[in-house]
Amino acid sequence: MKTLVVPIDPLNIDVGKIDEAAATIKRGGLVAFPTETVYGLGADALNAEAVAGIFSAKKRPLDDPLIVHISQKSDLSRLTVQVPEKAVRLIEKFWPGPLTVVLKKTSLVPDIVTTGLNTVAVRMPSGAIALRLIDAAQTPIAAPSANLFGRPSPTLAEHVISDMEGRLDMVIDGGAPEIGIESTVVAFRGDEVVVLRPGGTTIEQIQEVTGSAVLCSENSPSIECPGKYPQHYSPNARVVLVGPGRGQAAKVMELAENFKKAGHRPGIMCVEEHAGAFPGQDTKILGSAEDAELCASRLFSIFREFDGEGYDIIIAEGIPEQGLGLAVMNRIRKAAGPA
């Protein structure tokens, strides 16, 4: 299938083009579109056959459930039941925005969307193009990130094309998302709020609304933890993380020298504070270690830039795990794979 690239200016949305994309969704097609987090690969969430197309286009395992995107808070009641009070408070505060809630599903949601789970992940994005598209399609849109399974999430239409050309009907090119890292996924266990995946809404913000929230650890027993696949968000290059703290730059420099001696071509993804610390090495600046928002917005693009330039190892400097720094570090760790 030929993939159509349709540019839409998020500040001056062309309704005709949105309608064309919505028609593609309605007839069971696949449309990649920008949200405020990353590009999603969308299909009509209520059309099981269309949703099956998402899994095959992405080569996604059939046991990794999708997020359903809605354009109005009131649509949640069609998809979910037994919404706990803390979920209501979070939705009130953070929707539209980068927060996904996992709730008990209704029978309207096809099993393939949730890969057979009795819960469904739902979010109302704030990206203007995403909201208009869902509205025009008049159906909830199931959309994982629009990358091939295991690859870094796309933050530009060209990333979608480079992974998925010919595997979907249309890509809406709406430029770079505001946030650049995926939504935070939360579930509710008894009275507890569990963050299954840190993302664009920080755990500190969630705690402020709900009193407490815990990060899902890989060994929490009774709850589905995303990222059960140990390696994820990975560029082709091997990623090696060096955490923040004393001696970080010296450690990075030593690794780079050693990799070169062993015949590799390492690139360093460094924090701005260390921009001058690696003479003779190839570096790309993630952002200031103090500016987790900027780091989040640049991370996936930098992974793909290193790949495009043929590096086989990325030595990544970590940043403090506060605010969006938690999500940034989560993605770098997942990209690095099991230690």
Q: Which residues are at the interface with ligand TXA (CB under 6 A)?
A: 35, 37-38, 40, 64-67, 98, 100, 102, 114, 117, 119-121, 125, 143-145, 182-183, 185, 196-197, 224, 226-227
**Residue 139 binding: pick among Mg ion, ligand TXA, none (C-beta 5-8 Å cut-off by kind):** none
15-26 and 128-137 helices cross at what angle (nearest 10)?
A: 50
Output the 3-class SS for the chain.
CCCEEEECECCECCHHHHHHHHHHHHCCCCEEEECCCCEEEEEECCCHHHHHHHHHHHCCCCCCCCEEECCCHHHHHHHEECCCHHHHHHHHHHCCCCEEEEEEECCCCCHHHHCCCCEEEEECCCCHHHHHHHHHHCCCEECCECCCCCCCCCCCHHHHHHHHCCCCCEEEECCCCCCCCCCEEEEEECCEEEEEECCCCCHHHHHHHHCCCEECCCCCCCCCCCCCCCCCCCCCCEEEEECCCCCHHHHHHHHHHHHHHCCCCEEEEEEHHHCCCCCCCCEEEEECCCCHHHHHHHHHHHHHHHHHCCCCEEEEECCCCCCCHHHHHHHHHHHHCCC
If contact means CB under 5 to 8 A according to the sort of partner, which of ligand TXA, Mg ion, none does residue 102 touch?
A: ligand TXA
Q: State the nearest-atom distance from the C-beta of 273 to ligand TXA, in Å.
A: 28
Residue at shortest CB range from Mg ion: 145
Residue in 67, 286, 293 with CA at minimum distance from that of residue 202: 293
Shorter beta-carbon distance to ligand TXA: residue 135 or 282: 135
* Minimum CB–partner distance for residue 260 and ligand TXA (Å): 34
Question: From ligand TXA, Mg ion, none, which one binds at residue 169 (CB under 5 to 8 Å depending on kind)?
Answer: none
Q: What residues make contact with Mg ion under the rule CB under 5 A?
A: 145
* Residue 153 CB, nearest approach to Mg ion (Å): 5
Rounded to a whole number of angstroms, the minimum distance from the CB of residue 253 to ligand TXA is: 34
Residue 28, classified by CB atoms within 10 Å of its CB into exposed (0-12), middle (13-18) or buried (19+), is: middle
Whichever of 145 and 184 has its CB closer to Mg ion, that residue is 145
Q: Are 152 and 304 in contact (CB under 8 A)?
A: yes
When the beta carbons of 182 and 291 are compared against ligand TXA, the nearer one is 182
Nearer to ligand TXA, 226 or 244 (CB): 226
Least gap, CB of 290 to Mg ion (angstroms): 27
CB closer to ligand TXA out of 57 and 240: 57
User: Would you say 51 or 315 has its CB closer to Mg ion?
Assistant: 51
Residue 67: which of ligand TXA, Mg ion, none does it interact with, CB under 5 to 8 A by kind? ligand TXA
Provide the minimum distance between the beta carbon of 263 and Mg ion in the complex, in angstroms, as a whole number: 33
HSE, side-chain direction, 13 A CA sphere, residue 149: 16
**What does 29 bind: Mg ion, ligand TXA, none (CB cut-off 5 to 8 Å by kind)?**
none
Q: How far is the CB of 85 from Mg ion (least distance, A)?
A: 29
State the binding partner of 117 from Mg ion, ligand TXA, none, CB within 5 to 8 A by kind. ligand TXA
Q: Which is nearer to ligand TXA, 196 or 336 (CB)?
A: 196
Nearer to ligand TXA, 252 or 299 (CB): 299
From ligand TXA, Mg ion, none, interface partner of 40 (C-beta below 5 to 8 A by class)? ligand TXA
Task: Output the residue with the shortest Cβ distance to ligand TXA.
Answer: 226
120 binds, among Mg ion, ligand TXA, none (CB under 5 to 8 A by kind): ligand TXA
